[in-house]
Structure 1
C-alpha cells in the first residue's frame, strides 16, 4: 500500500520541483541584477547559443515574461500532469526524462528551424509536447479520448500557424506569443512518444 501511494505522488513531486524552480527564477528576474540577472544568463537567445551558451536551449523554457505568463504556464503544467498521471505512475523517472527531452528538443528545434526567433522564454511549447505525448499514450492504452486530445492539439497549433495567437494573451503576458514554439513542442511530443513506444515494445514494458 505504501509503495503504491509513493509512486502516485512522485509525478507531483517532480511537478512541484519544476514549479518552484520557475517561481524562484522569476522572483530573481524581478529583483533586477541585485542578486543575479536570470534573463541575461538563462533565456533562449539565438546569438548567445551560437556562441556556445548551449544551456540556454534548456533553461529558456523555465523563464517567464511576467506573473501572468508564469501562472498560466504552471497552471497548464499541473493540469496536464493530472490529466495523464496514469502514464507516469509505474515508471517514476519517465516524467523527468520526458521533461528534459522536451526541453532540449524545444530549444534545438527553435534554434535550427526558426533562426529569426532571436529570443524566447516560457513553458508553453514544452506543454504542447507534454500534452501531445500524453494523448498518444492514451491512444496506446485504448482510450478513445486520446484521439480527441491529439486531434484537438493538432487543430489548435495548425490554427495558430495560419491566424496567429490571441491578441489578448499577448497583451496579458506582455510579449508576442511564440506560436513557433507550440509547433516545435507538438512535433517534439510526437517524437518522444514514437521513441518511447519503440523502446517499450522492444523491452516489452507494460503499463
Structure 2
C-alpha cells in the first residue's frame, strides 16, 4: 500500500471510500492519532484519486452526488444502470417512437404526413413566407400536435436505435434526479426549439428525436456544473457538438450520408442550455 493523503479524523470519508470501492480502486483508510491516512494499492491511481478527493471535500454538490450514488438503486458499482421502472416516461416515449416508425413504414407512407410540422401535400412551403403562412393555417385548424410529433418520425432502424439509446441514457437520469415533470417540460421546450428552427430553415421534411436528445445533453452538461448528479463522459458533449458542426459542412453529403437535420440539433441544444439556466436546481430526496 502507498500512503497518499493524511486528513483530520473529523472529515467523514465513508461515502468517498464506498465510491472508490465501486470504481474498483483498492484502498485502505487507517487512523494515526487524530489523523486518518488514505492508502492506495496502485500508485498510478494517486493523481486521479487526489483530484476526486479534492472535489469531494471542496464542493458540497459533489459530496451529495457521491452519497446518492452509494445508496441509489440505479447505480451498480458506481455506474448508471436504471431499470424500466426507474424511468417509465422515457421508456414510453421511446416505445411510441418505435411503434410510429413501424406504422409509418419509416416515413414512407401517407400517414407520416400527419406527423410532420405541416402537411407538405397541402401547403406551399418552398419559401420562408410560405412556411410561415402554412404554419399559421395549420395551427388555426387546431393541429397543434404537429409542433412536437416530428420527434416521432424516424427513417431507418439505425436512426431510431441511436436516438433511443441516447435518450434512454440521458433522459432516464433527468427523470430520476429531477423528476418526470421536469423531464416532460424539458422535452417540450427542446422539441419546440428544434422542430421550429428546422422547419423555418428547410420546411417540414424532417423528423427524429435527435433534436430533443441534443437538448437533454445540453441540459445535463450545463446543469451538472451547478449541481453534480448526472453521469456521462465529458467527451460525449465534445463529440456531439463536433458532429453538429460537421453537419453544417458539405462533408456529410460528400461522404454519402445525406443532409442531417442540423438546425434541429442546434435548436434543441440551445433550448437545453436555456432550460439549464432557467430551471432551479432540484435535489432528489
Q: TM-score, normalised to structure 2's length?
A: 0.54
1:9-38 CA-partner distances (Å, limit 9, x unpaired) = 6652111101111111111112976xxx43
* Aligned position for 2:245: 158
How far did residue 88 of structure 1 move? 3.5
* Aligned position for 1:51: 137
**Residue segments in structure 2 that go unaligned for 5+ positions in a row:** 1-71, 75-81, 119-124, 126-130
Query: Is residue 120–residue 178 contact of structure 1 (8 Å, CA) maintained in 2?
Result: yes
* Aligned position for 1:183: 266
How far did residue 107 of structure 1 move? 2.0
Query: Is residue 57–residue 108 contact of structure 1 (8 Å, CA) maintained in 2?
Result: yes
Whether 1:102 and 2:190 are equivalent positions in the alignment is yes
Whether 1:81 and 2:164 are equivalent positions in the alignment is no
Whether 1:131 and 2:217 are equivalent positions in the alignment is yes
Instruction: Note closer, same or farther for the CA distance 1:159–1:194 as it changes in structure 2 (3 Å cut).
Output: same
Q: TM-score, normalised to structure 1's length?
A: 0.72
How far did residue 134 of structure 1 move? 0.7
Alpha-carbon distance between aligned partners in 2 of 1:57 and 1:164, rounded to the nearest angstrom: 30
SS in 2 for 1:80: helix
Alpha-carbon distance between aligned partners in 2 of 1:142 and 1:21, rounded to the nearest angstrom: 31
Flag the structure with higher helix content: 1
Alpha-carbon distance between aligned partners in 1 of 2:211 and 2:152, rounded to the nearest angstrom: 11
SS in 2 for 1:75: helix
1:68-110 CA-partner distances (Å, limit 9, x unpaired) = 222222122223235xx16743523211221122112222223
Query: Is residue 194–residue 266 contact of structure 2 (8 Å, CA) maintained in 1?
Result: no
How far did residue 164 of structure 1 move? 4.9
Query: Is residue 136–residue 146 contact of structure 1 (8 Å, CA) maintained in 2?
Result: no
SS in 2 for 1:79: helix
Query: Is residue 126–residue 185 contact of structure 1 (8 Å, CA) maintained in 2?
Result: yes
Alpha-carbon distance between aligned partners in 2 of 1:23 and 1:11, rounded to the nearest angstrom: 20
Alpha-carbon distance between aligned partners in 1 of 2:95 and 2:259, rounded to the nearest angstrom: 25
**Residue segments in structure 1 that go unaligned for 5+ positions in a row:** none
Instruction: Note closer, same or farther for the CA distance 1:153–1:30 as it changes in structure 2 (3 Å cut).
Output: closer
Alpha-carbon distance between aligned partners in 1 of 2:213 and 2:254, rounded to the nearest angstrom: 20
Q: How many residue pairs end up in the alignment?
A: 187
1:40 to 102, 113, 120: 113
Rg: which structure is higher? 2
Flag the structure with higher strand content: 2
**Which one has more relative contact order, counting CA pairs under 8 Å at least 6 apart?**
1
How far did residue 67 of structure 1 move? 2.2
Alpha-carbon distance between aligned partners in 2 of 1:60 and 1:17, rounded to the nearest angstrom: 16
1:108-146 CA-partner distances (Å, limit 9, x unpaired) = 22334x1x3342111111111111111112111257978
Alpha-carbon distance between aligned partners in 2 of 1:167 and 1:57, rounded to the nearest angstrom: 31
